[in-house]
Amino acid sequence: MTSPRQLHLNAFLFGAGHHQAAWRHPDSPLEQLGDIAHWERLARTAERGLFDAVFFADGHSAGDVGDGPRWFLEPLTALSAIARATERIGLVSTVSATFWTPFHAARLLASLDHISRGRAGWNVVTSMFDAEARNHGLPGIPPHAERYARAAEFIDVAHRLWDSWSDDALVGDRHGLHADPEQVTRIDHAGEHFRVDGPLTVPRPPQGRPVLFQAGASGPGRDLAARHAEAVYAVAYDLESALAYRTDLLRRVAAAGRDPEGVAVMPGLVAYVGSTEAEARAKQAEVDALLPEEQSLAQLSAFVQQDCSGWELDAPVPELPPLERFTGPQGRYATILRIVAVERPTVRQLLGRLAAGGGHCTVVGTPEAVADRMELWFRSGAADGFNLMPPRLPESLDDFVDHVVPVLQSRGLFRTRYTASTLRGHLGLPRPGSGRPPGPVRPVRTARSPA
């Protein structure tokens, strides 16, 4: 008898929470964002909730620093510390294939996998801002196609570096060899973007390879995910779009010759949880009310390309032109049209929704209502799990762990204890084999340097 399929859950930890105004709340952890103990506490909360992993985004430019906290600790170093404050939960770091190089990235991720005893994950991104590129010597962000081509080669090199030490390479014979040179092989990669001889300096990671996450939205992004990703962070506003996304992605996975069972699709989920719906709505309204009105309306004006400064905050959103008549960036505008059509929000409510993962699945309600939505998406084939985006930290994460997780568990939808000790294990992913690269073995022989 095989165990029934269950949800996978990541806790996406970001700033003071995913709501742009979360940091303005009197109880926000604003003074603790550089304190690793704060992040350890959040990770332990997620571990108490038996989450598969904590998930860290990353960026390479400071952005508008007045407007709220964004980046602080670098995620690979932070997760190395968090690894020692937790025991089972996975640790997913975003690492940009555009700004890192594969030897560095593979090395730090392998090290994190050893430090955490097999709990490392890599969310590969290609980054998007000129300001980030200009911190790394580039005149601007490279074109989309170039970034994705580089990322594909980057992933290939990283995989080969992790495979450059076989599982049995460490012999540990005190009277003979420390490692078997025939099981530690060069990769001799010479591609369009990278030249890397290998092998890695780090013996094979406990998971073989850290788990590869990706958030493929565009066509090339989905194809990259289809070829390589083991879990996908998706953006889906409603069941229909989530189902369409997952169906398309798994079709591409199959077309790439991989088993669709080996890829967990995890849409973002913004949840405001209360013991009643009214209490949940009050929590949402409380943080929405912290948004600076003038600034939010100015941002909205840019999104809808008309002057919103005179809009009445507590009146319904005025009628907007249809998407086909809109000449600005489509994605965000489409989200706004959908929110307006489905939720009929006031202007203030729209600003709040946009300020907290507007394009993502958002649920405001009781634990049962949140679980209902998750169950519906899960049973409909729209999601294998969710990347929880708590609007306010730590409160929204506490609420979810304390109240939603027990409901999911009572429905048999979520684990009641960890049955594995690695992130691969939590996700039900196979461990890649010892990965001796095909072709003749090229043992490493170089002169030993002085210590």
What is the footprint of a copy of itself within residues 360-389 (CB under 8 A)? 389
Pick from 48, 63, 153, 262 the residue near a copy of itself by CB under 8 A.
63
Helix 144-162 and helix 219-228, axial crossing angle in degrees, nearest 10:
10
Pick from 74, 87, 248, 312 the residue near a copy of itself by CB under 8 A.
74
* Nearest to 407, CA basis, from 9, 1, 89, 53: 9
DSSP state of 201: S
Pick from 42, 50, 53, 57 the residue near a copy of itself by CB under 8 A.
57
Footprint on residues 259-278 left by a copy of itself (CB under 8 A): none
Spatial distance between the Cα atoms of 53 and 81, rounded to a whole number of angstroms = 15
**By CB under 8 A, residue 110 contacts a copy of itself:** yes
Could you give the angle at the alpha carbon of 269 between the alpha carbons of 359 and 212, nearest 5°? 95
Residue 69, preceding bond cis, omega within 30 degrees? Answer: no
**By CB under 8 A, residue 196 contacts a copy of itself:** yes
Helix 102-115 and helix 144-162, axial crossing angle in degrees, nearest 10:
50
**By CB under 8 A, residue 194 contacts a copy of itself:** yes
Q: In this structure, are strands 231-234 and 195-196 parallel, antiparallel, or unpaired?
A: unpaired
- Least Å from the CB of residue 287 to a copy of itself: 12
Nearer to a copy of itself, 83 or 408 (CB): 83
**By CB under 8 A, residue 184 contacts a copy of itself:** yes
- Least Å from the CB of residue 32 to a copy of itself: 11
Pick from 167, 179, 293, 431 the residue near a copy of itself by CB under 8 A.
179
Locus of tokens 């073995």: 441
* Nearest to 90, CA basis, from 116, 119, 118: 119
**By CB under 8 A, residue 294 contacts a copy of itself:** no
Locus of tokens 């002085």: 450
Pick from 44, 48, 114, 144 the residue near a copy of itself by CB under 8 A.
114
**By CB under 8 A, residue 175 contacts a copy of itself:** yes
- Least Å from the CB of residue 254 to a copy of itself: 31
**By CB under 8 A, residue 26 contacts a copy of itself:** yes
Binding range to a copy of itself, per CB under 8 A, among 55-63, 215-223, 277-285, 336-344 = 55-63
Nearer to a copy of itself, 202 or 263 (CB): 202
Q: Which two tokens stand for residue 324?
A: 């086909």
Q: What is the largest CA-CA distance in the chain?
A: 81
- Least Å from the CB of residue 179 to a copy of itself: 4
Footprint on residues 305-324 left by a copy of itself (CB under 8 A): none
H-type helices in 168-262, by residue range? 219-228, 239-255
Q: In this structure, are strands 120-125 and 189-190 parallel, antiparallel, or unpaired?
A: unpaired
**By CB under 8 A, residue 325 contacts a copy of itself:** no
According to DSSP, the residues that pair with 211 across neighbouring strands are: 121
**By CB under 8 A, residue 134 contacts a copy of itself:** yes
**By CB under 8 A, residue 417 contacts a copy of itself:** no
Residue 73 and residue 104 in contact, taking contact as beta carbons nearer than 8 Å? no
Give me the sign of the Cα torsion angle 214, 407, 400, 334: positive
Pick from 48, 281, 332, 436 the residue near a copy of itself by CB under 8 A.
332
- Least Å from the CB of residue 275 to a copy of itself: 27
**By CB under 8 A, residue 23 contacts a copy of itself:** yes
- Least Å from the CB of residue 329 to a copy of itself: 11
Q: Which residues contact 422 (CB under 8 A, 6 or more apart)?
A: 90, 117, 118, 119, 206, 207, 431
Determine the 3-state secondary structure of 272 from DSSP.
strand
- Least Å from the CB of residue 221 to a copy of itself: 16
Spatial distance between the Cα atoms of 392 and 13, rounded to a whole number of angstroms = 10
**By CB under 8 A, residue 418 contacts a copy of itself:** no
- Least Å from the CB of residue 381 to a copy of itself: 27
Nearer to a copy of itself, 112 or 423 (CB): 112
Footprint on residues 140-169 left by a copy of itself (CB under 8 A): 169
DSSP string of 309-320, one letter each residue: TT--TTSBPPP-
**By CB under 8 A, residue 339 contacts a copy of itself:** no
**By CB under 8 A, residue 289 contacts a copy of itself:** no
- Least Å from the CB of residue 105 to a copy of itself: 10
Q: Which residues contact 330 (CB under 8 A, 6 or more apart)?
A: 323
According to DSSP, the residues that pair with 295 across neighbouring strands are: none
